Chain A
Amino acid sequence: MIGLPVGAIDCDVHVAVPNMNALLPYMSEAWQEMITSRGTDGLDLASYPNNAPLTCRPDWRPANRKPATDLSMLQRHALDSFGTRAAIIHCLWGAQAVHSEDLARTLCQAVNDWIAAEWLDRDPRLRAAIVVPAQSPTYAAMEIERWAADRRFVEVQLLCMNEMLLGRRYYWPIYEAAVRHGLPIGIHAGSAMRHAPTANGWPTHFAHDYVAQTAGFEGQLLSLMGEGVFNHFPELSVVLVESGVTWLPAFLWRAIKSWRGLRGEAPWFTRSPGDLVRRHVRFTTQPFDVPGPDETRKILDHIGSDEILLFATDYPHWHFEGTGALPPGLPDDLVQKIAVDNPLATYPRLKETLS
């Protein structure tokens, strides 16, 4: 029993760039020469080592190829077995982590062209996030413009950890373009490693890196709220993708308390963090770190909103077994909201193309 309603929408599935050769057809000759003559490759993000258990569930792991590089596997594992009506692709790759702004732009353009040709064109259920080079917000905004007319691109993808915190005005051209075209900003787990993954340096273990992602997300929420991004872009929606969810109540309690005590420092910060998050921020449901159904119900009560969760499998990342993608203990009416209503409300382009 999957427990998903008809028309469920999966807000986070992954596809992976097999290697640089797959992208060369989507670049100019000059860039093809630059990249091949220098042997530029190996841009898989350190946040997701290909063979780490998290990166691909064992029964979803292909025998002789990189995970998430095969359409028929994605169709079988992620779409057919959950009966989802639509699924949003996030492509995590080094295009968003290389240092050169021009190389970043070229690689992001190629990734998006490749996503459209190799995935979106081949299954009408698929949607995607536009991979943009945060290394240059100007280029990122241009890339959003380039895809604005293609309604299959329903979101803008940023990594959780970049050179600077995302509330800084430096990044605002990205939000301006996103709002202009009705695209939520998806902030996905992962780091461009401009800084150590923790405030105390580099952990020894991969497990620690991954656990520490939640601190990265908390930092981004405080940055977006504290810098006034939601004041300046009242229509902006932010989706935290693969962020985990159950840290949210404790985060809000501390954030609200700090805001009460210190809001004089940022006079534009007039709405409470709880209100801002419930109005502007959404969370995908995998991973959902909880021991059992009782805790799920309590956490949902603490969060205090039935509108902020978006169903996701996070395929092929390994968070659950079988088809048990839903957190345990969700009431049926909430499942309908999480799997259908909330995604349609969050992604205007989904509503437009699925309704």
Chain B
Amino acid sequence: MSEVLDHSAGAAVRTGIVDCDIHPTMKSNRELFPWLAERWQQHLAAYGSQPRIPFSTGTQYPKAAPATARRDAWPPTGGPPGSDVDFLRAQLLDACDIGLGVLAPLHGAARNNELDAAVSTAVNEWQIECWVKPEPRLKASVVVTHEDPDLAVEEIARWAGNPNFVQVLMPSKTNELLGRKRYWPIYAACQAANLPLAIHVNSVGGGYASTGGGWPSYYLQDHHINVHSFQSQIASLALEGVFEKFPRLKWVMIEGGFAWLPALCWRLDKHWAQNRLELPECKRPPSEYIRERLWFTTQPMEEPEHAEHLRDTLGWIGWDRIMFATDYPHWDYDDPRTAFPIRLSNAEHEMIFRTNALGVFGLP
């Protein structure tokens, strides 16, 4: 059980499952102030982070529940869901026997890159001080200013080699598609630091309509359609030659689902073959790179009408590519005991709930 673990940084995860998507939240952005210059504290108070949405503090779409959260995840001590490490430990880590939990802070990118970089540094410090130190089963993600790769590279360098961090984290919606060369310095830095690059779904991002035909009306549409941002990013990375250029970089796709991947690969391969004239940087069928470099977290898992069909999909993607995630404390949280609609063999369970992720993060 988890209580017998050695909690020191870098220690082996001897037992328990791995949860690849846990969202720590702040009671207010004042939690960042110990690491934030006064200039930026004042800036945030006056202007906020100016997300690329119509509202200064709200969300693009009204969400399913207050704070987008499980209704039982509000800590008894007050504050929003995911803001109390003791309550998270009891409700998530202990209750679900989680031996390693990966933090994915979703503080939202600021339009001002200098502000975003200052906040990113503070969020990274905050993850260590407020989460990893009190609860070593948790590991942090290096958040970066993805729209200013020079600043992102500085941030990655700041934490490279620090065992509290297991990956670099970016959102799925960016100003330009991630295959563009301007983002490449980030990939070089991740590869050099031996840190996987995780892409987490976001509904707010580059400030474009969430479909090519415009804006949907409801969260039930937007929540689904966000998955398309992963498809366009994966196509861009493959076709622009990123996988060819950075062969040792591992990619983790978080909260984007996965059942759509086989059909995307088949379609990409077909048009890669037909259009090689315009795709010299992509030297192999895209599906080959995807099979080698990409991992996918489970929540929210697509649920086939006939549960056994999920087995076909997992086989096509590769059982070694799937990593369990709860998405705690969000409303569509997956409980590790009930998330899978099919019975997994012990070997399959071990891979998805444990060893696939440990392998990606290079943990014993």
Contact = CB atoms under 8 A, between A and B. Distances in A.
Contacts of B58: 41-44, 94
Contacts of B65: 37-39
Chain B interface, DSSP helix/strand/loop, else mixed: loop
Contact of A45 (B54, B60, B111, B218): B54
B57 A193 contact: no
Contacts of B51: 46
B43 to A, nearest CB: 10
A50 interface: yes
A38 B64 contact: yes
Nearest to B71: A37
A206 B50 contact: yes
Contact of A38 (B47, B60, B63, B175): B63
A48 B55 CA distance: 9
Contacts of B216: 99
A3 interface: no
A49 B175 contact: no
A1 B54 CA distance: 40
Interface string B46-73: 1110111111111111111111000000
The CB with the most chain A CB atoms within 10 A, among B48, B58, B59, is that of B58
B55 A94 contact: yes
A163 B66 CA distance: 27
Interface in B170-188: 175
A94 B58 CA distance: 10
Nearest to B51: A46
Interface stretch (B132-140, B192-200, B207-215, B356-364): B207-215
B55 A49 contact: no
A264 to B, nearest CB: 31
B359 to A, nearest CB: 38
A290 B45 CA distance: 30
B345 interface: no
A44 B111 contact: no
B275 interface: no
Contacts of A192: 54
A258 interface: no
Contacts of B52: 193, 196, 202
A163 B216 CA distance: 12
A48 B111 CA distance: 15
Contact of A43 (B46, B55, B63, B215): B55
Interface in B61-108: 61-67
Nearest to B46: A51
Contacts of B60: 99
Contact of A48 (B56, B59, B62): B56
B217 interface: yes
B47 A45 contact: no
Nearest to A205: B112
A94 B62 contact: no
Interface in B125-167: none
Contact of A204 (B61, B63, B113): B113
Contact of A50 (B56, B62, B218): B56
Nearest to A209: B50
A193 B46 contact: no
Contact of B207 (A50, A98, A99, A196): A196
Contacts of B214: 163, 194
Contacts, number: 95
Interface in B28-58: 45-48, 50-58
A12 interface: no
A104 to B, nearest CB: 9
A38 B53 CA distance: 19
A331 interface: no
A103 B55 contact: no
A163 to B, nearest CB: 7
B63 A94 contact: no
Contact of A193 (B47, B53, B63, B218): B53
Contact of A42 (B55, B113, B207): B55
A128 to B, nearest CB: 22
A18 interface: no
B47 A97 contact: no
A201 B63 CA distance: 26
Contacts of A44: 55-58
A54 B111 CA distance: 19
A25 interface: no
A191 B62 contact: no
A52 B53 contact: no
Contact of B209 (A94, A101, A194): A194
Contact of B57 (A42, A100, A201): A42
Contacts of B207: 193, 196, 201-202
A119 to B, nearest CB: 23
A193 B60 CA distance: 10
Given A42-B55, A45-B55, A196-B52, A99 B61 contact: yes
A49 B56 contact: yes
Given A38-B63, A46-B51, A101 B217 contact: yes
A280 to B, nearest CB: 28
Given A44-B56, A94-B55, A99-B217, A204 B112 contact: yes
Interface in A15-74: 35, 37-46, 48-53
Contacts of B63: 38-40
Interface of B: 45-48, 50-67, 111-113, 175, 207, 209, 214-218
26 contacts: A38-B64, A39-B63, A39-B65, A39-B67, A40-B62, A42-B55, A42-B57, A42-B58, A43-B55, A44-B55, A44-B56, A44-B57, A45-B56, A48-B56, A50-B56, A51-B45, A52-B47, A99-B60, A99-B216, A100-B217, A101-B217, A193-B53, A202-B111, A203-B111, A205-B112, A209-B50
Closest 10 CB pairs of A and B: A39-B66, A42-B58, A97-B54, A40-B62, A193-B54, A42-B57, A46-B56, A100-B217, A49-B56, A51-B46
Given A38-B63, A191-B54, A206-B50, 8 more contacts: A44-B57, A46-B55, A51-B47, A53-B46, A94-B54, A97-B55, A194-B214, A204-B111
